Amino acid sequence: MKLIIGYLYGDLMNIYGDTGNIIALKKRCEWRGIDVVVKNIAIGTKLSKGDIDLFFFGGGQDQQQELVAKDLEESAKGKVIKSEVERGIPLLSVCGGYQLLGEYYQPHKGPRLPGIGLFDTYTLAGDKRMIGNIVIESMFGKLVGFETRSGKTYLKKEAFPLGLVKKGFGNNGKDRTEGCLYKNAIGCYMHGSLLPKNPKLADWLLKKALEVKYSEDIKLEPIDDILENQAHKSAQERS
Ligand code: GLN
């Protein structure tokens, strides 16, 4: 089996350890003998249906987000990503990437950045940074991560949260929701990186990607996640 991971704007949107998610996905494929290729989808890169089996979109500061929002709109990559998610292609987005997948992100200064409208959400820059460990309860059980940003994301009527905050801020520090889940696409504020400490979520993304690609039920070979689970437990205890 072969898997192509699309790192959306990996040269620009990769802060707070988010590339660790790509490393985790790659290693969990290699440990199972699954061939894996990581493609950076940069500004100016053409993106077509079927090119990518699993998308990752990391965090970035307002300046990078402005460049990326423009490319998503002008290059029609946003439309391709939306239609790929509609047919079940999995996607994980974190923070700045997550913000650009909603209706819009309004930074502190400058124009409102249009999102691609994948998630029924919108984001407003907050007046203080939300920083710290986060623990949420989700369909994957407890997920642990680290938050650092000012943006506050609000779920509109069609949006479904990834989970509920046990410790930390979540989407906006008010409504106790964290992230957004739509089909096999996830948005969240969980840097850390997220996947090395949440192996169940990593494998869910890989399973969904392989099932869509090969149109069959996939049973991933179990991995001894002793280190991952220790990291998960200690992150939870630190929160
Ligand atoms: N610039 C955005 C904010 O501050 C996203 C930052 C990030 O990706 N950590 O909310």
Residues 1-44: tens digit of each pLDDT: 999 999 999 999 999 999 999 999 999 999 999 999 999 999 99
Rounded Cα gap, residues 214 and 205, in angstroms: 14
CA torsion sign, 207 to 209 to 212 to 215?
negative
User: Looking at residue 123, which CATH number applies to its domain?
Assistant: 3.40.50.880
Does any ligand 1 atom lie closer than 6 A to the CB of residue 170? Answer: no
Q: Is 174 helix (H, G, I), strand (E, B) or coil?
A: coil
How far is the centre of ligand 1, averaged over its atoms, from the C-alpha of 97 (Å)? 9
Rounded Cα gap, residues 174 and 183, in angstroms: 25
The whole-chain average pLDDT of the chain stands at 97
Boundaries of domain holding 110: 2-238
Please give the average per-residue pLDDT across 216-224, as a whole number: 98
Closest-lying ligand 1 atom to the alpha carbon of residue 125 = 10
Closest-lying ligand 1 atom to the alpha carbon of residue 123 = 10
Dihedral, CA of residue 34, residue 39, residue 41 and residue 46, to nearest 10: -100
How far is the centre of ligand 1, averaged over its atoms, from the C-alpha of 73 (Å)? 19
User: What's the pLDDT tens digit per position in 119-128?
Assistant: 999 999 999 9
pLDDT of residue 239: 83
User: What's the pLDDT tens digit per position in 164-206?
Assistant: 999 999 999 999 999 999 999 999 999 999 999 999 999 999 9
Does any ligand 1 atom lie closer than 6 A to the CB of residue 90? Answer: no
Does any ligand 1 atom lie closer than 6 A to the CB of residue 60? Answer: yes
Would you say how long the chain is, in residues? 239
By annotation, the residues acting in catalysis are 95, 191
CA–CA distance from 60 to each of 17, 98, 109, 204 (Å)?
11, 10, 16, 25
Does any ligand 1 atom lie closer than 6 A to the CB of residue 45? Answer: no
User: What's the pLDDT tens digit per position in 59-81?
Assistant: 999 999 999 999 999 999 999 99
Which residue out of 14, 62, 67, 94 has the highest number of ligand 1 atoms within 8 Å of its CB and is therefore the one to mutate? Answer: 62
Q: How many structural domains is the chain composed of? A: 1
Does any ligand 1 atom lie closer than 6 A to the CB of residue 95? Answer: yes
**Does this model's pTM top 0.75?**
yes
Beta strands in 12-140 (DSSP E): 35-41, 54-57, 91-94, 104-106, 113-114, 121-138
